[in-house]
Amino acid sequence: MGTDDKQRRLINSHENSRGFYLQKFRLYETRSNFYMVGWDKTRTFWKVLKIDRLEPSELIIHEDPTSYSEIECLDLLKRIHEGNRSTGGLKFISRCYGIIGFIKFLGPYYFLVITERRKIGKICGHAVYAITKSEMFPIPHSTLLSNMAYSKDENRYQKLLHMVDLTKDFFFSYSYPIMISFQKNLSSSETGLTLYETMFVWNEFLTRGIHNQLQNTLWTVALVYGFFKQVTLTISAQDFILTLIARRSRHYAGTRYLKRGVNEKGHVANDVETEQIVFENVREGSPVGVSAVVQNRGSIPLFWSQETSRLNIKPDIILSRKDLKFEATKLHFEDLIQRYGNPVIILNLIKTREKRPRETILRAEFANAIDFINKDLPEDNRLRFLHWDLNKHPRIKATKALLRLGEVAINALELTGLFHCQLIPTSRSGELLKLSSIG
């Protein structure tokens, strides 16, 4: 009993710790339920999730409130197997690395899980992963599936979903909120469900059902879509780890030409937040200096569009709607200020001269919008609008163009500043969870 009590106290303290998360799972099935077993990386803390298979049109999920040890969990699975022996018992289905979400088309609910992953980097000791394989399972037992589950329309919707290649440009972390910037991670009190509601979590809709029922995010992963790359470099005999993260917004997203400009909510097409983080590469256990800077790019925040045509490689630009007070444009910049603060510096790279007006139409209207918005802003908070027409310098080599743009970036950083701090390592698995800001 003494050993059991000690293990139970260890489980309870681990569950209440700030850094607790599940990262490995096993999926089982009986005729009436799916069972997902999840555990933490120390194999101390085991949880069980039950998904009802008898209700073909509803999503019913139950999380066992008990926190088990490994031995206790194995004993529970044996009892579930014995209790269902008459209908085939408990069967192992797959090893998993998190739930992507649940979806319903015309027939039953399905759930998507990660079945293979690969590590692509780490931030402050927290691993970042990409998906290498995923699977989708219908939830109801096959004997309960209606004819709709086998219809042409249902099959078509499944194929459309499978066209989204989750192995390309999606990434996630169990313990580091990679959907928000490094600076926000240090200063924000947002956790759990709130983080899934951010603009950079692409499976927010797919996870809404399970989150509403469980009120936690233990079983799901938050997928960010964009780019993640980490390299080591040496400058003046000092080693650094450079991390580049690009996060694409899920709002008003779409392919080129089909999505342009801004919508009524102020969301722009192809909104991408790019973050550069530089860590000192020091020996384990030493304080680590870190700097980070964030930039944003997106479609010009006006109502405009382009007609797609195979015969016209440069389709006309159309100002598709008049917004006399530039309300949508104003909403966009208010959102940027809320996300990043003042000042907002706009670098406009579109053409200033054309034989046949295309981009110049946008340039003039965008300038009008900025002037209109700035009239109502105090001088210190006005939008800074910079024009730099790359096409006016066609003979400039790419390296020189980058140097010119670098000068613009330096001037912008002098106005906005960048984030810098020193991280103090904790004793837990090399993770830098206790953070001491020095600047």
What's the pLDDT score for residue 223? 98
Asked if 274 and 296 count as a contact pair (C-beta separation under 8 A), the reply is yes
What's the pLDDT score for residue 297? 94
Question: Looking at the structure, do residues 177 and 314 belong to the same domain, yes or no?
Answer: no
The yes-or-no verdict on residue 93 having pLDDT over 50 is yes
The yes-or-no verdict on residue 395 having pLDDT over 80 is no
Q: Assess if residue 435 is contained within a domain.
A: no
Beta bridge partners of 304: 319
Residues 232-284 pLDDT 10s: 999 998 999 999 999 999 999 887 777 899 999 999 999 999 999 999 998 87
The yes-or-no verdict on residue 435 having pLDDT over 50 is no
Position 393 confidence tier, pLDDT thresholds 50, 70, 90? low
Residues 173-184 pLDDT 10s: 999 999 999 999
Q: What average pLDDT does the segment 327-341 reach?
A: 95
Segments of 152-303 assigned E as strands:
170-172, 224-235, 238-248, 272-280, 288-297
> In terms of residue numbers, what domain contains 96?
2-214
Alpha carbon distances (Å) from 170 to 93, 101, 247, 322:
25, 14, 10, 37
Q: Assess if residue 320 is contained within a domain.
A: yes
Question: Looking at the structure, do residues 308 and 412 belong to the same domain, yes or no?
Answer: yes
Q: Assess if residue 387 is contained within a domain.
A: yes
CA 375 and chain centroid, separation: 36
Buried b or exposed e, range 51-63, using 16+ CB within 10 angstroms: bbbeebeebebeb
Question: Of the residues 159, 190, 214, which one is the last residue of a structural domain?
Answer: 214
Question: Of the residues 214, 237, 266, which one is the last residue of a structural domain?
Answer: 214
Under DSSP, the state recorded for 265 is T
Question: Looking at the structure, do residues 95 and 190 belong to the same domain, yes or no?
Answer: yes
Q: Are strands 91-96 and 126-138 parallel, antiparallel or unpaired?
A: unpaired
Residues 115-159 pLDDT 10s: 999 999 999 889 999 999 999 999 999 888 888 888 999 999 999
Question: Looking at the structure, do residues 286 and 404 belong to the same domain, yes or no?
Answer: yes
DSSP element (H, E) containing 114: strand 109-123
Percent above pLDDT 90 for the chain: 64
Beta bridge partners of 285: none
From 104-108, 127-131, 315-319, 372-376, the region with the lowest mean pLDDT: 315-319
The yes-or-no verdict on residue 429 having pLDDT over 60 is no
Question: Looking at the structure, do residues 32 and 179 belong to the same domain, yes or no?
Answer: yes
Question: Looking at the structure, do residues 256 and 206 belong to the same domain, yes or no?
Answer: no
What's the pLDDT score for residue 339? 92
What's the pLDDT score for residue 15? 46
Q: Is the peptide bond prior to 287 cis by the omega test (within 30 degrees of 0)?
A: no
Residue type, 32: S
Question: Of the residues 197, 214, 231, which one is the last residue of a structural domain?
Answer: 214
Q: Tokens standing for 125? A: 């000791």
Q: Assess if residue 238 is contained within a domain.
A: no
Question: Looking at the structure, do residues 87 and 146 belong to the same domain, yes or no?
Answer: yes
Q: Long-range contacts of range 335-339, CB-CB < 8 Å, 24 or more positions apart?
A: 335/266, 335/267, 336/296, 337/381, 339/296
Beta bridge partners of 29: 34, 91
What's the pLDDT score for residue 355? 74
Residues 190-249 pLDDT 10s: 777 888 888 999 999 999 999 999 999 999 999 999 999 999 999 998 999 999 999 999
Question: How large is the angle between the packed helices 327-340 and 359-374, nearest 10 degrees?
Answer: 70
What's the pLDDT score for residue 317? 85
Residue type, 193: L
Per the structure, the count of domains in the chain is 2
Residue type, 153: D
Q: Assess if residue 92 is contained within a domain.
A: yes
What's the pLDDT score for residue 396? 67
Neighbours of 253 (CB within 10 A): 15
What's the pLDDT score for residue 286? 80
Measured CA to CA, the distance from residue 328 to residue 342 in angstroms comes to 19
Token pair 């799972």 is at which residue?
25
Residue type, 428: R
Question: Looking at the structure, do residues 52 and 146 belong to the same domain, yes or no?
Answer: yes
What's the pLDDT score for residue 173? 97
What's the pLDDT score for residue 35? 99
Which of the two residues, 319 and 372, has the higher pLDDT score? Answer: 372
Residues 290-318 pLDDT 10s: 999 999 999 999 999 887 766 667 777 88
The yes-or-no verdict on residue 390 having pLDDT over 90 is no
Q: Assess if residue 226 is contained within a domain.
A: no
Asked if 262 and 329 count as a contact pair (C-beta separation under 8 A), the reply is yes
What's the pLDDT score for residue 246? 98
Q: Which of 107-111, 355-359, 410-414 has the highest mean pLDDT?
A: 107-111
Question: Looking at the structure, do residues 202 and 288 belong to the same domain, yes or no?
Answer: no
Question: Looking at the structure, do residues 97 and 192 belong to the same domain, yes or no?
Answer: yes
What's the pLDDT score for residue 13? 43
Task: Output the average pLDDT for the chain.
Answer: 88
The yes-or-no verdict on residue 3 having pLDDT over 60 is no
DSSP element (H, E) containing 206: helix 204-214
SS3 content of the chain, % helix, strand, coil (to 5): 30, 30, 40
Q: Assess if residue 368 is contained within a domain.
A: yes
What's the pLDDT score for residue 10? 45
Question: Looking at the structure, do residues 14 and 112 belong to the same domain, yes or no?
Answer: yes
Q: Tokens standing for 45? A: 């803390």
Measured CA to CA, the distance from residue 278 to residue 158 in angstroms comes to 41
Q: Assess if residue 243 is contained within a domain.
A: no
What's the pLDDT score for residue 89? 97
What's the pLDDT score for residue 437? 43
What's the pLDDT score for residue 129? 99
Question: Looking at the structure, do residues 205 and 265 belong to the same domain, yes or no?
Answer: no
